[in-house]
Structure 1
Amino acid sequence: MMLCVIVPLWALLSITQQAPSQDTCVCEFENSETIFPHDKLSTAEDDASTCNSDVTPQQTLELEILLLGLKRRLPQLEADVSILEKEDDGDLYGVLSLRVAENELLEITQLFNRLNSTSLRYQRLTEGTTKQLEDLRAEMEEMAMFDTLQVVKRQQDNQRLRRDLDQCEHGLQPSIHPTRPPVRADCPHGHFMNVSGPRVYTAGEYPGSYMYGAWGRDPKPEVGKENWHWVVMLTSGNKFSNFVRRYTSLSSLIIGKSVPGNVQIHAANPTTNTIQGPNAVLYGEALYYNCYNQDAVCRFNLTAKTVTNLKLPKGTRYNSKSNFCHIDECYHFTDLDLLTDESGVWVVYTTPQNFGNLVLSKIEDGKALELGRTWRTSVYKQGVTNTFMVCGVLYATRYVDKTTEEIFYSFDTMTGVERFDIGVFINKMAPNIYSLNYSPADQMLHAYANANMVSYKVLFS
């Protein structure tokens, strides 16, 4: 009986040992990802190192030395030739002077030959380096596809963010600190030093609708209207307008709630004495602007609804013949620029007599408009994008790029001193600033830029 039980257990054990083990697992692994091209990365690193060694600051310095040599030698040669032409000493010293001039001319010729050969060598180097950089860029873009987790992309985004934050943090400082001008006795604020980052940035009541216009605060408001703001929008072809729109506060302007509404100059637009161009200003409850189709300033009294005209000197350019410009664009109908500061209203324009350079005149504002003292500057109007006045000093801006405008020039009406080294930069919120004006009511620069209203705080020392 016991034997019968043992035999089946043995048989069962034999069968179990012959069966395949359930603990053994065989898997086939196939990598579907493309193998990273380490050889290409190594080649790219070698090419980048070669570019760094081929293009050095010393090469630029070599060109500068050659150009400086020419700059110094040419005036000396001109002076020696001038002496030679004036000498009359029986050919004794004339021969010696001629020999000196010949030696100098030979040295200048050698400098020119070196400059030409150096320039050609650098030109070939530039062409070769450009081709290398293009190839490197293509290879790096191809290898960027292996960054499936986007680690490199996020590092680049972080670098850009850090750069933008750094620019924002240090944006209040000019790249080059300007030399301080003498303190003006009639300026209560001190030295004009800089411009802050944007304090106000709004599309207003009609976002994106009117590209050209102007806005700001009245420097000489009526009682009870100290916080009022005004806007002029060029509603006809971005060229003309027939009204000024008013807001009881900055908040009302931002949210687009105009309780006073429009103050209309004329029912038609455009017509006689309506607004032409974006460079209008409000001062003492009166709007000053370029009269439609005239070389004249109009003053529209917002209370009496009357218009007074001031004819500008004969030959004044108007009807978009002498605009503010930069290399890519001119701002149409900006022949006249009306400005305000602590002392009143000014006008900037051009005449053939001043060869297209800026002319500045004070507007004497009495019962009748009169043109007061006039100053002629040496800055060309079409090399300027905007002007504004602060404490009797005219400032001019120029276009740097889509994000930056530079205040580069000033003219002091008290001393007559011109400066081209101001070096204060404005961070733009839109590519083009079509009007720019300073209001002493709040020491703000009010800019109208591509249908947006932006303001900047003027910083004094």
Structure 2
Amino acid sequence: MNTCRIQMQCLSAVVFILLKAMMKFYTLILLCCLFNFTQQLNQQDRCVCELTNKEKAFPHETLNSVNENAAKCSHTVSPQKALELESQLLGLKLRLPQLLKDVSILEKEDDGKLYGVVSLQVIENELVEIKNMVDRLNRTTQGFQHLTTDSGRQLMHLKEELQELELYDSLQVEKSRKANLRLKRDLEICRNDAQPTPHPDSVQTSDVCPHGKFVNITGPKFYSKGESTVNHKYGGWGRDPKPELGKENWYWRVILNVNNIYANHITFYSSLSSLTVGIKLPGNFDISPSNPTTNTIQGPNVVLYGDALFYNCYNSDRLCRFNVTSKTVSTLQLPKGTRYNSKGNFCHFSECYLYTDFDLATDESGVWLIYSTVHDFGNLVLAKVEEGDPPTVNQTWYTSVYKETVTNTFMACGILYATRFVNDTMEEIFYSFDTSTGEEKFKLGIFFRKMCPDINFLNYSPRDQMLHVYCDGYMVSYDFLFE
């Protein structure tokens, strides 16, 4: 019995061991099958995504080419090109009247002998010079015609390339931007039509200049002596930046006496043409008697603003304001130590411009006074003159540029500019003072061509963005270019 029990236990143990071994064997087989299935799935049934861009690649090279061609076009077509043609036309315009004058003299005084021969030789030389000027003008004109044709062709090509580039604006960003710009422009026009532009009461600074940044001067655009003689070399002229109704087209002119010290009246002209030919309508407005009085104009630096003439009172350190309508004069006493009576003039190298102690200027914000004092070492002092009767000074700025190293000054958008003498045919705007920031710049390097060696009067007109100059009896104007 015991032997049979032992045999049964042994058999059970063997069966258990066999069952356990078979279970491990099947488990191993299942794992192998699962592993093979997984391998087959990763190799044969995995998901692969391919991205296909149906849009054309953006032509960056074309864009770079457009930018380069636009830059070349801007460099080729510049204001200097127009200035070159304008200067040649002006030179020819000046030589032709001189030739006509010489011919008239010859016709009157020809004695049929040596005088006529010499005069004919002079006229022949003048004709040769004029012919050379005409030839240069023709060459310049032909060059400009080719430049215009080439530039027009290039602009059309640039336009086509830009239109092609706009096709890549699939999100309509550029189209929406242009639509917004047009809408903004139309809104601004509508607003300006609904509300007339008021005259500014506060100082316009460079940050809020309605025209942008001042960059250059071109011209001259206008050049005339009017009806005056060369003996009256000092004076001033221009337009009222804030005219009364009906006087929008008027021009004014002040001419000092033959001693170039004082003037007694201001003359008005109904238009620029009237000023050119000397038609005095509405005519002279007397300020003081012929003999100088305390209300007499002293020096050439005068300005007209709001139907009132501002100037240096005769033999005094006071500012005068002459009301054109009421013909009354009010004055403003300047600080003690202010230089006057030709003790603080504009100068260059070896010459000073007499009785230029005070310089009046206009810009978008009103009237400015530039002078010097003994307390500030003769440096330029700038004051904002406020409208009123009598006038007052609102604010004063002190600069570090010596007044006698300056030939003239003017204001534009709250910035003071100073000029200096280069030579008889060239003047430089070398200095600026920004009233909004107090920043001074001494190396502006803006040059413009002069029609006379000495500039006796210089003022910016915010009404037409012109620079008005008076020199040796001539009235000259230049275009004021903003960025």
Provide the TM-score with structure 2 as the length reference: 0.58
Q: Which amino acid aligns with 2:242?
A: K
- The residue that corresponds to 1:369 in the other structure is 391
Kindly indicate whether residue 434 of structure 2 is the aligned counterpart of residue 396 of structure 1: no
State the secondary structure of the residue aligned to 1:280.
Answer: strand
Instruction: Give 5+ residue unaligned stretches, structure 2.
Output: 1-127, 145-204
- The residue that corresponds to 2:454 in the other structure is 432
State the secondary structure of the residue aligned to 1:352.
Answer: coil
Shift of 1:196: 0.9
Q: CA deviation digits over 1:329-376, x for unaligned, max 9?
A: 100000000010000000000011211110000011123311111000
Classify 1:376/1:267 alpha carbon distance in 2 versus 1 (closer, same or farther; 3 Å). Answer: same
Q: Answer yes or no: is the 8 Å Cα contact 1:236–1:270 preserved in 2.
A: no
- Count of aligned positions: 294
Output the CA distance in 2 between the equivalents of 1:307 and 1:193. 38
**Where in structure 2 are the equivalents of 1:65-76 lying within 5 Å?**
none
Shift of 1:236: 4.7
- The residue that corresponds to 2:248 in the other structure is 226
Classify 1:260/1:315 alpha carbon distance in 2 versus 1 (closer, same or farther; 3 Å). Answer: same
State the secondary structure of the residue aligned to 1:254.
Answer: helix
Shift of 1:259: 1.5
Kindly indicate whether residue 341 of structure 2 is the aligned counterpart of residue 358 of structure 1: no
State the secondary structure of the residue aligned to 2:207.
Answer: coil
State the secondary structure of the residue aligned to 1:354.
Answer: coil
Say which of 185, 189, 207 aligns to 1:185: 207
Output the CA distance in 1 between the equivalents of 2:385 and 2:460. 16
Shift of 1:282: 0.3
Kindly indicate whether residue 368 of structure 2 is the aligned counterpart of residue 346 of structure 1: yes
State the secondary structure of the residue aligned to 1:307.
Answer: strand
Output the CA distance in 1 between the equivalents of 2:413 and 2:226. 29
Provide the TM-score with structure 1 as the length reference: 0.61
Say which of 310, 319, 322 aligns to 1:288: 310
Q: Answer yes or no: is the 8 Å Cα contact 1:241–1:269 preserved in 2.
A: no
Q: CA deviation digits over 1:389-415, x for unaligned, max 9?
A: 000000000000000010000000000
Q: Answer yes or no: is the 8 Å Cα contact 1:386–1:396 preserved in 2.
A: yes
Q: Answer yes or no: is the 8 Å Cα contact 1:217–1:229 preserved in 2.
A: yes
Output the CA distance in 2 between the equivalents of 1:413 and 1:360. 9
Q: Which amino acid aligns with 1:295?
A: D
Say which of 265, 276, 292 aligns to 2:287: 265
Output the CA distance in 1 between the equivalents of 2:465 and 2:374. 34
Q: Answer yes or no: is the 8 Å Cα contact 2:206–2:434 preserved in 1.
A: no
- The residue that corresponds to 2:439 in the other structure is 417
Shift of 1:238: 0.9
Say which of 199, 209, 230 aligns to 1:208: 230
Q: Which amino acid aligns with 1:450?
A: D
Bigger radius of gyration? 2
Q: Answer yes or no: is the 8 Å Cα contact 2:345–2:354 preserved in 1.
A: yes
- How many percent identity over aligned positions? 59
Q: CA deviation digits over 1:180-238, x for unaligned, max 9?
A: xxx83331000101001101000111132310000000000011111100000002511
Kindly indicate whether residue 404 of structure 2 is the aligned counterpart of residue 382 of structure 1: yes
**Where in structure 2 are the equivalents of 1:159-170 lying within 5 Å?**
none
State the secondary structure of the residue aligned to 1:330.
Answer: strand
State the secondary structure of the residue aligned to 1:252.
Answer: helix
Output the CA distance in 2 between the equivalents of 1:213 and 1:282. 13
Output the CA distance in 1 between the equivalents of 2:134 and 2:449. 17
Output the CA distance in 2 between the equivalents of 1:160 and 1:379. 44
Output the CA distance in 2 between the equivalents of 1:162 and 1:403. 20
Output the CA distance in 2 between the equivalents of 1:340 and 1:416. 19
State the secondary structure of the residue aligned to 2:300.
Answer: coil
Output the CA distance in 2 between the equivalents of 1:160 and 1:276. 44
Say which of 309, 312, 319 aligns to 1:297: 319
**Where in structure 2 are the equivalents of 1:13-412 lying within 5 Å?**
184-412=206-434
Structure 1 stretches of 4+ moved >2 Å: 157-163, 183-186
Shift of 1:328: 2.7
Shift of 1:381: 0.4
Q: Answer yes or no: is the 8 Å Cα contact 1:240–1:269 preserved in 2.
A: no
Instruction: Give 5+ residue unaligned stretches, structure 1.
Output: 1-153, 171-182
Output the CA distance in 1 between the equivalents of 2:291 and 2:401. 34
Q: CA deviation digits over 1:69-125, x for unaligned, max 9?
A: xxxxxxxxxxxxxxxxxxxxxxxxxxxxxxxxxxxxxxxxxxxxxxxxxxxxxxxxx
